[in-house]
Amino acid sequence: MERVYIKDLEVSEEEVLLRGWVHKIRDFGHIAFIMLRDKSGIIQLVCEKEQIKGLRLENSIEVVGLVKENEKASKGIEVEVSSIEIVGKTYYDKLPFEVQSYKNKTGLETQLDHRTISLRIPKVKAIFKVQNEIEEAFKGYFKSHDFEQIHTPKIINSGTEGGSEMFTVNYFNRRAFLAQSPQFYKQMMVGAGFEKVFEIGYAYRAELHNTWRHLNEYVSLDVEMGFIKDESDLMDVEEDFLRYMFEHLKETCSEELKLYGVEVPEELKIPRIPLAEAQKMLLEKYGKKSPVGNIDHEGEALLHKYIKEKYNSDFVFLTEYPVSKRPMYTMEDEKKPGFTKSFDLIYKGLEITTGGQRIHDYEMLKERIVGAKMKLEDFAFYLDTFKYGMPPHGGFAIGLERITMKVLELSNIREAALFPRDIKRLTP
């Protein structure tokens, strides 16, 4: 008999085979109910008293039974059990916390200490269904728009921004680094003739942060495209992708979104505001002073409040960052010297994207590297591509955990990481 997933159950005259975990047991003496949980959902099993003998919560079991209609059951159906077999025993005195409740109150640290148990909580598991579909939407959108997927090295010879805040690796007695981003390589792939590329991969930041919005290992959704006019082309693409993503989430994650009480926007038009203008607004409206060439987290939260009131948008593109506050490969705006053709995307008060046009001229890029007091020989592998007709190009990167956190309005980014790595956590 072939196994059927709970999501695919329907009333039939034939018995079905189910597999999963014992989610709840309710014993009424003459009859018992088991809530069976598999990867696709939860279903009620109707059992005789003898059939539940020896069963414990979280046993993995194999069940054979008939699917019956029951209007009172959550899905309008239940399974009348003919046989149950325990295929995975449990060995515990007490579960570390309750798995059965949708309103689990266990602290995040405890949940992370017992991560594979916390992931059995339906509401926690729902986070990763949504995250999986965000990733699927990203891949689907860019594949359908003639981008090619690439995979670039995560052990590299030099840092994309000069080697600061990077983890070092002993690479056969040579000093190497864990990549902060695929920045150099995705640019090189544009120059290699791929023109438009994307990557889904881990990135590493050796930042001494211990906050609700920082991870030291995270998943980056990277995009790079050639033959652009300027950074506005990139913002257009990202905005269009976000529309596609939200439509995809409505189709694939309606139950998960409902579980978190969130609604995705019906329409999306993202305002674009120069950084200096946003800083001026924050000072005049809220008395908030911003750091030079940037907006801190408190400013991002106030900016979201303002943008929501004025534009009814949870998103805003901040543009025209100073050259001094951007990586050396960022294109300077020839019409506004001292400012770059770059942007950040702020979503519900949190930066989720940095992007912009890159320098594509070989001599200009060499000059910028030297000006940043970096050694040209460290970047020879990267610079070489720019000798051979590198087109105008640019790109952006979205933090997968950050966008997941904001879509579901989670309170801590570690909730959106299967096995988070932060300044204190190296296990599980």
Annotated domain spans of the chain: 6-88, 122-416
Do the annotations mark residue 399 as ligand-binding? yes
Do the annotations mark residue 151 as ligand-binding? no
Do the annotations mark residue 251 as ligand-binding? no
* pLDDT value of position 160: 58
How many angstroms separate the CA atoms of 137 and 151, rounded? 18
How many angstroms separate the CA atoms of 302 and 286, rounded? 8
What's the helix, strand, coil split of the chain in %, to 5? 35, 30, 40
Do the annotations mark residue 206 as ligand-binding? yes
How many angstroms separate the CA atoms of 200 and 223, rounded? 9
The tens digit of pLDDT for each residue in 290-336 reads 999 999 999 999 999 999 999 999 999 999 999 999 999 999 999 99
pTM of the model: 0.95
Q: Residue 78, SS3?
A: strand
Do the annotations mark residue 213 as ligand-binding? yes
* pLDDT value of position 165: 84
The total of other beta-carbon atoms located within 10 Å of residue 257's CB is: 19
Do the annotations mark residue 215 as ligand-binding? yes
Residues in Cβ contact with 2 at an 8 Å cutoff, skipping those fewer than 6 apart: 17
Do the annotations mark residue 372 as ligand-binding? no
* pLDDT value of position 42: 95
List the beta bridge partners of residue 44: 35
Question: Which residues of the chain register pLDDT less than 70?
Answer: 102-104, 159-164
CB burial of residue 11 (10 Å; 0-12, 13-18, 19+): exposed
Residues in Cβ contact with 288 at an 8 Å cutoff, skipping those fewer than 6 apart: 282, 298, 299, 302
How many angstroms separate the CA atoms of 171 and 174, rounded? 5
Do the annotations mark residue 214 as ligand-binding? yes
Check if the beta carbon of residue 364 is closer than 8 Å to that of residue 199.
Answer: no
* pLDDT value of position 222: 98
Check if the beta carbon of residue 422 is closer than 8 Å to that of residue 401.
Answer: no
CATH of domain 6-88: 2.40.50.140
Query: Is the peptide bond between 265 and the residue preceding it cis, with omega within 30 degrees of 0?
Result: no
Do the annotations mark residue 400 as ligand-binding? yes
Say if 6-88 and 122-416 have the same CATH topology: no
Closest CA to 260 of 122, 357, 76, 354: 122
Do the annotations mark residue 161 as ligand-binding? yes
Do the annotations mark residue 267 as ligand-binding? no
Phi/psi at 225 (5° precision): -145, 145
Can you give the C-alpha Rg of the chain in angstroms? 26
Determine whether domain 122-416 maps to CATH 3.60.150.10.
no
Do the annotations mark residue 402 as ligand-binding? yes
